[in-house]
Amino acid sequence: MPRELTQNRIQKIWVPTKDDKPAAPRRATGAPHFANPQTVIVMVGLPARGKTYISKKLTRYLNWIGLPTKVFNVGEYRREAVRNYSSFDFFKPDNECAVKIRQQCALAALRDVKSYLKDEGGHVAVFDATNTTRERRDMILTFGNENGFKIFFIESVCDDPSVIASNIMEVKVSCPDYRDCNKTDAMLDFQRRIECYKTSYQPLDPDRHDKDLSFIKVIDVGRKFLVNRIQDHIQSKIVYYLMNIHIQPRTIYLCRHGESTDNLEGRLGGDSGLSPRGKQFSVALARFVEEQQQQDLKVWTSQLCRSIQTAEHLGVPYEQWKALNEIDAGICEEMTYDEMKEKFPEEFALRDEDKYYYRYPAGESYQDLVQRVEPVIMELERQANVLVICHQAVMRCLLAYFLDKSADEMAYLKCPLHTVLKLTPVAYGCKVESISLNVDAVNTHRDRPEEVKRGPGTLIRRNSVTPLTSPESIIKKPRIDDLDEAPIQEMPPSVSSLALCSPSHLPLTLTGKNLRRSSSGRHDVLQLCQ
């Protein structure tokens, strides 16, 4: 007898009746998860080769597409164990005491990897350390075998002195190890630290010793790649991602279309044109873009009228992406929230219960949007300067990717009309500047209702497409440890500088419902999360 099917109420996914619990999200989601076995990504390379940069970026991407991923940085374990870093002597191969400590730190990190993957719902762990000797890598391979984890190596090889010097300046001289040094001393010490590793460095050998391992060698910051024995879907996606990212400085501008006539009436979705104020915004946007003087700026829009009308004012070529269309509100298209509440009260309540997973009947969810928008992210990674003129929900998805926001936060990010967000990659994160173009508009933001409880419990779902923030490591680490200026002191929550934070540093307690803009400091500050 065939099992009866019912549609689970939040995700609108058809499930066999006996399995359905009213609001429990199902395993299956927008795209299958192919029962990916758990994977440990192992970074390999001399210091200052971009391993941590790659680790963090990859983790952010994997979390965003729904694979719970976490970085385990052995250097942080070392800083916990050895409170005060004295000098590069610590890293000398003959410093027996230090060698022991470093070994212990690696083992501690692996223990945490095991716990993350086996007990905490993790899917991918990124083991960020130099791992430059065969001995160390063999130990990790054994660990993987014992626990049934797949092992994938990412080796970064680079001998261009200017790239290395630049890396050291960006992220090393201001790290906690060098908090009491001046920049020149720090640079010198670090270079000698690198020398300590060089003698014992055994690169991955695809021809003989390591020919059966799965790995990618990234050579000279992505000029060349050597890819060996990709085993599965997730390794294939990782390789594709790594081959598309670059580190050239550039700027991404995100904004919504100008205010539309539907916006004025408080209606969702639809395909209306701009209101008079929306048109004013478009003119202001054109002026803004000109002032920014970006080289070769690409302009992308959705295929909805209001975003194209906005772009038309810029007088430059633009590309239309259907993938950037606003979330499909299905049967609720073109209703106001009040109408929706009146006609479909249960749907209205369900949406507030779990806005990320909630799919409009015959429409989409934020989770579906992430799937849909992924090719846009991939192309954004390839590009240089881009202006994306899109819509509220889509912009929230894109922003969540750049700022490493979890699924829980994504659906409530503030993306007001007539405001441009300027994103600039910096160090391990992304600087955000919010620029209001001073044209009034209605507010389309709905805050998270008070009654809806939040908490990690609802978010841990195995094998589901749930973006999680790259989690903080268990080791307490200094708030800002990798930017080229003095760490930011504890600030009152209302004026936290989002701009300089690498996303995982943002305190989770940061709340506040109002848009605050601070004119102090060099950066516009915007509180985006709730």
Partner 1 sequence: MALTADGSEQKELTQTPLLKIWVPWMGCNLNRRRGSSVPQFCNSPTMIVMVGLPARGKTYISKKLTRYLNWIGVPTKMFNVGQYRREAVKIYKNFEFFKQDNEEAMNIRKACAAAALKDVTAYFTKEQGQVAVFDATNTTCERRAIILNFAKEKGYKVFFVESICEDPEIIAENIKQVKFGSPDYVDRDIEEAMEDFVQRIECYRASYTSIDDDKDRKLSYIKIFDVGSRYLVNQVQDHIQSRIVYYLMNIHVTPRSIYLTRHGESELNLLGRIGGDSGLSPRGQKYANALAIFIKSQNIKDLKVWTSHMKRTIQTAEALGVQYEQWKALNEIDAGVCEELTYEEIQRDFPSEFALRDQDKYRYRYPKGESYEDMVHRLEPVIMELERQENVLVICHQAIMRCLLAYFLDKPGDELPYLRCPLHTTLKLTPVAYGCKVEPFFLNIEAVNTHRERPVK
Interface residue list for partner 1 (CB under 8 A): 2-3, 5, 7, 12-14, 16, 28-34, 206, 223-230, 233, 236, 239-240, 243-244, 271, 273, 276, 279-280, 282-283, 286-287, 290, 300-301, 303-305, 308-309, 312-315, 318-322, 333, 362, 368, 371, 379, 382
DSSP state of 168: I
C-alpha distances out from residue 41 to 103, 208, 416, 459, 492, Å: 19, 21, 38, 23, 37
Q: Which is nearer to partner 1, 7 or 142 (CB)?
A: 7
| Least Cβ distance, residue 176 to partner 1 (angstroms) | 37
| Distance between CA atoms of residues 192 and 184, nearest Å | 13
| Distance between CA atoms of residues 76 and 504, nearest Å | 15
| Least Cβ distance, residue 341 to partner 1 (angstroms) | 23
| Least Cβ distance, residue 244 to partner 1 (angstroms) | 6
Q: Which is nearer to partner 1, 32 or 456 (CB)?
A: 32
| Least Cβ distance, residue 384 to partner 1 (angstroms) | 12
User: Nearest 5°: phi and psi at 186?
Assistant: -60, -45
H or E element at residue 353? helix 345-353
Residues 466 and 492: beta-carbon distance below 8 Å: no
User: Nearest 5°: phi and psi at 441?
Assistant: -155, 165
- How many C-beta atoms lie closer than 10 Å to residue 101's C-beta? 16
- Cα 233 versus chain centre, distance: 20
Given the residues 76, 155, 326, 409, select the one marked as catalytic: 326
| Least Cβ distance, residue 240 to partner 1 (angstroms) | 5
Q: Which is nearer to partner 1, 165 or 308 (CB)?
A: 308
| Least Cβ distance, residue 180 to partner 1 (angstroms) | 43
DSSP state of 38: P
| Distance between CA atoms of residues 434 and 416, nearest Å | 10
Given the residues 257, 391, 418, 505, select the one marked as catalytic: 257
Instruction: Tell me the residue length of the chain.
Output: 530
326 catalytic? Reply is: yes
C-alpha distances out from residue 29 to 10, 11, 92, 322, Å: 12, 8, 50, 21
| Least Cβ distance, residue 405 to partner 1 (angstroms) | 22
Give the DSSP per-residue string, 224-290.
EEEEE---SHHHHHHHHHHHH-------EEEEEPPPBHHHHTTB-S----B-HHHHHHHHHHHHHHH
Q: Which is nearer to partner 1, 254 or 329 (CB)?
A: 329
| Least Cβ distance, residue 9 to partner 1 (angstroms) | 15
Side by side, the strands of the sheet bearing 419-426 are 319-320, 298-301, 386-390, 252-256, 419-426, 429-436
Give the residue carrying structure tokens 């990234």: 218
**Binding-site residues from annotation for substrate:** 256-263, 306
Q: Which is nearer to partner 1, 182 or 248 (CB)?
A: 248
Give the DSSP per-residue string, 429-485.
EEEEEEEE-S--------PPPTTS---GGGG--TTS------PPPSS---S--SSSS
Q: Which is nearer to partner 1, 215 or 428 (CB)?
A: 215
The tokens of 400 are what?
């969540």
Positions marked catalytic: 257, 326
